[in-house]
Each structure stands twice: as structure tokens, then as C-alpha cells.
Structure 1
């Protein structure tokens, strides 16, 4: 999340003090204008929703002690000059990647889902690839960049795509190929370390999980819960296909890049690339295709009704980008956009076995 001034809504460089002190304080990230929160593994969406709101509240309390606020926006609507956290790794990144790192003030939402083995994990990664752009469209929450409308629903995705390892990856087939690919990327000298493997979805370095990283951070906590529900069901669906010996669909990575670009540009307004036909369809049709694809898993996990309800509400009111633009259209004031998002970050109400 971003740290912002309560009066102007501008991003403020206070992460080094906000992240100190209390045990439940948020963690620092690349830039001093942002902080990171997480949740413990959860079995149910209700548990996840409760933890998510509690962590947001704790982060807000920590920020308030330093006379600032937290807001779940994927980019700052107002102009900002990011300042890098004074940690050795981050300073090396700022030096090596120059403007790409120096401008990189973006906030995403990562979902981890437990898998039984790396074999299953790679099987999942290879099978979820065509569905990830739909998740980006649903969570798109960054229409403004440096004080102007970017024309994109998720401009964060465009900025994030400047990293050399960002975006979709080719199918790997086996953990051996996955790890050999990662090592080759590091050995090339382009990446500093394994932590800079920024695939849209990857095997976690520290946990027995796959990590889906394509989404913008969601202002509405309900949208983050929906994202987690769909990601868990997508992982479960892919794992079942892998166990059954069903091969992944052979979708070219170039087409996935274009599907993600379309999702970044349009969000839920206009057309998306259909995950199966790879043809343009109204955004709601692509969302319904994703829901249909994961319905058996959602049902078995007990999440189907909640996912339908949350999806319906999302389609009715729009994603974060739509809500930001709606506020700006009614006020003509980007400060008002930030203030509304601050309230929404801590608002909303809960939704209701693979852990997420």
C-alpha cells in the first residue's frame, strides 16, 4: 500500500519510520512511499477476510502514529518522486536498473496457494497461464500516473513490465527445467538474484506454494478476497488436470503478453482476450468463462456462492480503476480520489482447503 499525506493525498516517504516500532507494523518495500502487509495461511475466505482487514487496520494505525495514512492503490494518482529505501539490495537495484527502478512505485497483490510438491506446482504454472490476464482485468486499480489519466485501467502493469523478467513464462514441464531456467536467468548477469524472477506466477522460494503475482492491489478488501478465492480454485483446477494427465493448452507466450496488455488497457470496460478462444469478447464474458472453468473447484472448496456474490458486486460497481475515475469525474480532484480510496481501504465487509 501507499503512504499518503492526509491533507494533500500525495505519497510521502515515511516507510522507514512507519515500519519500525510495533510488532504488527507493516514491512518496508522498494520505495519509502510504500509498505507491505501479509496474512497467515487461511483455510476459509472468512478467515482471510478477517486477517486482511486486521492487517490493514494495523498498518493504518502505524501510519497514523507518523501523521500519514495507508491507501491500497496500485499507483499514486498525484505526481511523486519515489525515494528508494536505504537497504543494500534496494540501492543496488536503483543503481543497476536506473529509471526502471527509480520510477517503480507500484503496489501489487500476491496470492500464495499451497501445493503438494514442486512437480504439482510446475504442473499448475503450466496450466493457469491463459487465465491470469482475466485476474488482472478484475483487479485493475491504477488508472492515474504522475497526476494524469494514463488511459489504462492498470498502468501498474505497464510500469512493472519494464523489469527484464516480468510477465508470462513459457511452460516448464518439470521442476528441473524451471530451476535451470531461473538459474540461467541469474547466470546471465541481468538479474541480481532469484528474488528478481518476476514471472506472473512462480514457485515460491520460501514456502511450499505457487505465487500468483499479476494482480494490482485492491482498494476494496472484498476484491482481494475474491482474487484469493479465484486463484485458489484456479490452482486446484490446474492441479486436478495435472494429476489426470491432461496436457496444458499450447498457448504462445506472445499471445499471453497481448492478452495481459488488453486487460491492462481495458480492465472490465470494453473487451478482453478470451482465455480459450483467444478472440476479443466483452469483459464480462471472459470473467464468466473463468468462473465456469473453476466452478467445480469453487464448489468443492465451499467458495462458489461467495465467489458468485463477490463477482456480481464487482461487475456491478466496477473495479478499482472504474471507482477512481468515477470519483475524479465527479470532483475533478485527484486528492479526492485518494481520500475516497483511503476510506475504501479500511471499509467493506467480510465475505463468506487449499490454504491461501
Structure 2
């Protein structure tokens, strides 16, 4: 990231791009399939792995395990175009997986039992060596939203101010109720799986880009994380792009929900950046309280109470979501996204989050394997 923030200068509409991690499952049984290498060979033959693409974004790539792949979209300003790109790359993943006899499934965790099979990658092999069972059992899928920023300091200024609101994004996106063949009792069990990594979770208030880099340097010098890429924070400045990467969401069953998360993420970053530029202080709420807020969001989703990002006390989820919308309304109106967000939230509260729909489909099908195949078809 580079550049300096200029107070008072009109901010152009920030670009947004989305990375989606997708599971690979058997087309008949719904069981996870270790076919990522085959799928990516197909994608490479079609020029869809990004290696021959000079543009930023728009590719199909590997993840930690052979039972998953990752897509990413090019950065765009218009959310209608983002929805098209999300659908386009899901279709490319589906078509490549079909050649390997598999389906793609947008679920934060695999509903059926699995023994993850690692990809053949030197860095991932070192992660498995260092972190043991945490790495070898890791099979979860998130939705990561990249929002453009103008400088290191603006990125951290926004990050410091969006921290209390990120659990609400997890609740909206919750899509991982099952784990190893059973109901976890959580709306987002993926959020629990991720806490096993020592560098996962909320961040403290940094105050500047330099302070953040000092923090990263200290973490890596402890020798615990392999490198700075293992800073699995709820949100972080990207190492590769001039963006702030919001990482809390589950991958969404419905791509429209991913667009909703992207819209709210961009609005939060814009609102946080404006507050930083205006010299408004960040909420000094502790990391410990933010961890509780994230746990509550993963446990209850939108079906109970969340911790209010302003008071840090329990409130009905719908009221907390309304507070989020009120907080970011000026940013939503500036980008023309207000109506889309209102419609998206109405849909989620009416039809349910991904977790609600997963459980409903299991109730209809009566068997988890049949439910997984149907969920993959919906993906």
C-alpha cells in the first residue's frame, strides 16, 4: 500500500473484490473428494488459474487441503458486476470440478465426516509440521472481502474503527452448522475452528500503519507463526494488494449474501476511513470483549442476541443489524448500495442464513448425504 490520505478530498468509490473458498464433494454421496489438483489442472488448461492473467483477480486456485479450491473476483466498483463475477467464477469452479466427478459446495465446514488430504505445497507442508493436528484437521471455507484503501495509515485507521462491527458480518454470513457428520449447535462452527490458530481473531487498536508493521514483526520474531501470511486476523491489510481484507465471513451458500457482506464491508471501511480522517477516536474495547462478541455471533447467528457494537451488551440480532445499517448509511448512500443492502437483509431475515437453510434442507431430505448433494446443486 502506498499514498497519503488527504482530509477533505472527495473519496472515489472504493473497489471491492471477493475470495471464496469452496469445498469439493462427490456428486453422488456428498462426501468430500480430494481432487483439487485435478480440478486445477483442468482450470489451468482453460487459462483460469490466473497465471496468464495480467489483471488483478479473476482466478481459480488451491487452498490448504485437496478437498477445496478458492476463487477470486477482479476488483470492481459496481456490486451488480460483483454478483455477476461471483456467479461466473462459481460456474468455472463447478465446470472444472465436474470433469473430476465432483461438485462444489459453498459451506463454511463440510457437513459429512472427512479426513483432510493436504495439497502438495512446500509452505503448507511446513505449516502442517509446525501446527500438527490444528493444520491437518483444518478444512473450512471463508469469504474474504478486499476493499481498496489509499495508504497504510488509512487501512489501519479504518481497521481500528471497524473492529466492533465485524461480528455482525459473521452473523449475517453464518453458513457452517455441521461438523464431522453432526450438528455443532453453532450457526458458524467455522468461526470456532479458526480460533485454533494462534494468530486468529480480533486486533488491538494500532493507531498507524507503522505500529501495525511493528506488531507483525514482533509476532513473526516469536517464531510461532511461519510468516506474516499467517496473520489470520478478522481483518488485515493485504500483503499483495492495496486493500483492507475483511476475513470474518463464512463462504455464503447464496452468492447474493456474499454481495451483501461485500457491500457492508465496503461501507464499514469507508465509514471507518472517514472517521479516521476526521480525527475521531477508535473504540478502545478490548480484544477479550471482541472475542466474546465473535463467539456469540458464531453461536447464535441472527437467531438470538448479539453483543451491541456500541454498548457491548446483549441486544436482539435484528436491532444490532439495524444499528450497523444506521452506522454505515451515509457510505451506502454515497455508493448507491442502500437499497441493495436493505433488500439483502430482508431476504436473509426472511429466508434465513446459510446455516438456517442447511438445517432446513436436512430436515426435508432426512439424510445428511442427500442434503449435501442438494446444497451443492444450490451452490
User: Which residue in the other structure is 1:7 paired with?
Assistant: 28
What displacement does 1:101 show?
0.3
What displacement does 1:283 show?
1.0
- Give the CA RMSD over aligned residues: 0.8
Q: Matched residues in 2 for 1:30 and 1:162: separation? A: 15
8 Å Cα contact 1:327/1:336 also seen in 2:
no
Secondary structure of 1:326's counterpart equals: helix
Q: Matched residues in 2 for 1:205 and 1:324: separation? A: 34
| 1:254 pairs with one of 268, 288, 291 | 288
Secondary structure of 1:19's counterpart equals: helix
Secondary structure of 2:236's counterpart equals: strand
User: Which residue in the other structure is 2:202 paired with?
Assistant: 168
User: Which residue in the other structure is 1:312 paired with?
Assistant: 346
8 Å Cα contact 1:78/1:335 also seen in 2:
yes
User: Which residue in the other structure is 1:289 paired with?
Assistant: 323
Q: Matched residues in 2 for 1:290 and 1:333: separation? A: 37
8 Å Cα contact 1:74/1:107 also seen in 2:
yes
TM-score (norm 1): 0.96
User: Which residue in the other structure is 1:134 paired with?
Assistant: 168
User: Which residue in the other structure is 1:23 paired with?
Assistant: 47
Q: Does 1:59 align with 2:93?
A: yes
Q: Matched residues in 2 for 1:343 and 1:234: separation? A: 32
User: Which residue in the other structure is 1:182 paired with?
Assistant: 216
Query: Can you give the 5+ residue segments of structure 2 that lack an aligned partner in the other structure?
Result: 1-21, 50-59
Q: Matched residues in 1 for 2:376 and 2:28: separation? A: 12
Which string of whole-angstrom CA distances, capped at 9 and with x for unpartnered residues, describes residues 282-310 of structure 1? 11111111111111100011100111011
User: Which residue in the other structure is 1:225 paired with?
Assistant: 259
Q: Matched residues in 2 for 1:88 and 1:217: separation? A: 26
Q: Matched residues in 2 for 1:83 and 1:135: separation? A: 30
Secondary structure of 1:52's counterpart equals: helix
| 2:124 pairs with one of 90, 114, 126 | 90
What displacement does 1:230 show?
0.4
User: Which residue in the other structure is 1:329 paired with?
Assistant: 363
Q: Matched residues in 1 for 2:371 and 2:161: separation? A: 38
Which string of whole-angstrom CA distances, capped at 9 and with x for unpartnered residues, describes residues 129-187 of structure 1? 00000000110110000000000011101011100100001010011110010011011
8 Å Cα contact 1:38/1:55 also seen in 2:
yes
Which string of whole-angstrom CA distances, capped at 9 and with x for unpartnered residues, describes residues 84-124 of structure 1? 10111111111110010011000000000011111111000
Q: Matched residues in 2 for 1:200 and 1:299: separation? A: 26
What displacement does 1:337 show?
2.2
Q: Matched residues in 1 for 2:366 and 2:196: separation? A: 30
User: Which residue in the other structure is 2:297 paired with?
Assistant: 263
Which segment is superposed worse, 336-345 or 312-321? 336-345
Which string of whole-angstrom CA distances, capped at 9 and with x for unpartnered residues, describes residues 27-51 of structure 1? 1110000000000001101110010
TM-score (norm 2): 0.90
8 Å Cα contact 1:115/1:210 also seen in 2:
yes
What displacement does 1:333 show?
1.0
What displacement does 1:340 show?
2.4
Q: Matched residues in 2 for 1:189 and 1:337: separation? A: 43
For these two proteins, the number of residue pairs brought into alignment is 345
User: Which residue in the other structure is 2:278 paired with?
Assistant: 244
Q: Does 1:50 align with 2:84?
A: yes
Q: Matched residues in 1 for 2:365 and 2:343: separation? A: 30
Secondary structure of 2:104's counterpart equals: strand
What displacement does 1:339 show?
2.0
Secondary structure of 2:72's counterpart equals: coil
What displacement does 1:259 show?
0.3
What displacement does 1:270 show?
1.1
What displacement does 1:330 show?
2.5
